[in-house]
Amino acid sequence: MSATDALHPPVLFAPEHEEFAQWVREFAAPHAESYLERAHREEFPWDLAEKMAAQGLLGLGVSEENGGQGRIGEVLTKTHLGIAHEELAYANFYLSQLAYTNDLTGPLLERFLAPDVAKDWVRGIVEGRHVVALGLTEPGSGSDAMAMRAKAEKVDGGWKLNGEKTSITFAPHAKAMITFVKARGATPEESGVTAFLVPLDSDGVSMQKFPDAGWKPLGRAGVFLDDVFVPDEYVIGGVGNGFRLVMSEFDYTRSVIGLMSTGVARKALDITIDYVKSRKAFGKPVASFQGVSFPIAENATKLEAARWLTYRALSLADAGRPFTKEAAMTKLYATDVSLQTIRDCIVAHGHSGFAEELPLQAMLRDVSGLEIGEGTPQIQKVVIGRALLGREATA
């Protein structure tokens, strides 16, 4: 094996990764111009979902049998998913959000529902016909799966669900929600945090939509469950296994959020570089002033560091090694650096950067949403602290 053959992320992308990135980049580029217009509207981007489905970008991680590009570890890797999300976010944040949710829920349903039950749901996701939301967060407990109060009681043929989920992205437009609740069966073995697939047109489901500064096309809502019946075949991964499902995905989703953030911030930086090279003051381009060029240099360096920290986390995942600490570091650092980069880009534009005619304000709002998703910065610091100091020292 040559030295070149031995290189792989996070040192250097292999040729297959470069080709994959180019494939995604070429698809995403024509959709960049529509980002700002969409950011101001609440209309769900079904047209984008249809085009992404035709490209195969909503089936990453789903088997070819169900219309996908292949399961992770068999055809694709988590590094491939990270590349896809970064390239999509650079062009248009809403492309990356569609991929993020659909490329998470599709594989989950395919793996943990019976094949005859999963087929239509998974194919609908892969083909862009519907979306399935993730319902973990609750008022008062946030993303703490063990502190949730929503519950399920065993009844003939299934379960009755009661409780409230809050801040659920995609909920106003979703066909169903993967809902995590505390199930109570006849025995302890038939109890515990459990994931259910809940069609949102079921009797007893109601919703309150939230007005948000960002993420407008995606929608966010509180979902209320009042004696909602869910059949046994819609239990995902078995009774009592919901907590394991949640924790097994957190590290991956936090890593991907890091790349979505840096993708948006890199686009903001490129827009700003073009601007300061053409904008003149005192007879020369403002790029010639160190007060302009130094923040650009600093932010570019930090974004590059954040990107490769994320690819290291995903590479550890692909190697089958623990990456909880690295995923938390990624989410903490990448979102912080990305937000600071966008703020500096706004300043470099002067008052025009503050105007809605440019995409920078929308980018700031959308990345702010990423910063608080899947655990706030404070939660990431807790995770990192526990990894470094031990649970007993940080209890």
Same domain, 17 and 43: yes
CATH number of the domain that 120 lies in? 1.10.540.10
Same domain, 210 and 341: no
Same domain, 157 and 215: yes
State how far the Cα of 271 lies from the Cα of 268, in Å rounded to an integer. 5
Q: Is 7's pLDDT higher than 60?
A: no
Note the pLDDT of residue 4.
Answer: 41
Domain boundary among 106, 130, 154: 130
Q: Is 223's pLDDT higher than 80?
A: yes
Contacts of residue 352, Cβ cutoff 8 Å, sequence gap at least 6: 358
Residue-averaged pLDDT of the chain: 91
Contacts of residue 359, Cβ cutoff 8 Å, sequence gap at least 6: 35, 36, 39, 268, 271
Same domain, 142 and 254: no
Give mean pLDDT, residues 59-80: 92
CATH number of the domain that 344 lies in? 1.20.140.10
The letter for the amino acid at 318 is D
Same domain, 121 and 141: no
Same domain, 380 and 264: yes
Same domain, 164 and 272: no
Give mean pLDDT, residues 345-371: 94
Q: How many domains does the chain have?
A: 3
Could you tell me if residue 381 is inside a domain?
Answer: yes
Provide the 10 A C-beta neighbour count for residue 60. 25
81 in Cβ contact with 45 (< 8 Å): no
Same domain, 163 and 123: no
**105-151 tens-digit pLDDT:** 999 999 999 999 999 999 999 999 999 999 988 987 766 667 789 99
Same domain, 228 and 275: no
Note the pLDDT of residue 145.
Answer: 67
Could you tell me if residue 205 is inside a domain?
Answer: yes
Same domain, 114 and 24: yes
Could you tell me if residue 124 is inside a domain?
Answer: yes
Domain range for 96 is 8-130
Could you tell me if residue 3 is inside a domain?
Answer: no
Note the pLDDT of residue 246.
Answer: 74
Note the pLDDT of residue 190.
Answer: 75
Same domain, 108 and 143: no
- pTM listed for this prediction: 0.92
**233-248 tens-digit pLDDT:** 999 999 988 877 777 7
Task: State percent of the chain over pLDDT 70.
Answer: 96
Give mean pLDDT, residues 352-361: 92
165 in Cβ contact with 207 (< 8 Å): no
Same domain, 251 and 356: yes
CATH number of the domain that 200 lies in? 2.40.110.10
Note the pLDDT of residue 8.
Answer: 59
Question: What are residue 199's DSSP bridge partners?
Answer: 176
Confidence band (pLDDT; 50, 70, 90) for 10?
Answer: low
Q: Please identify every residue annotated as catalytic.
A: 374
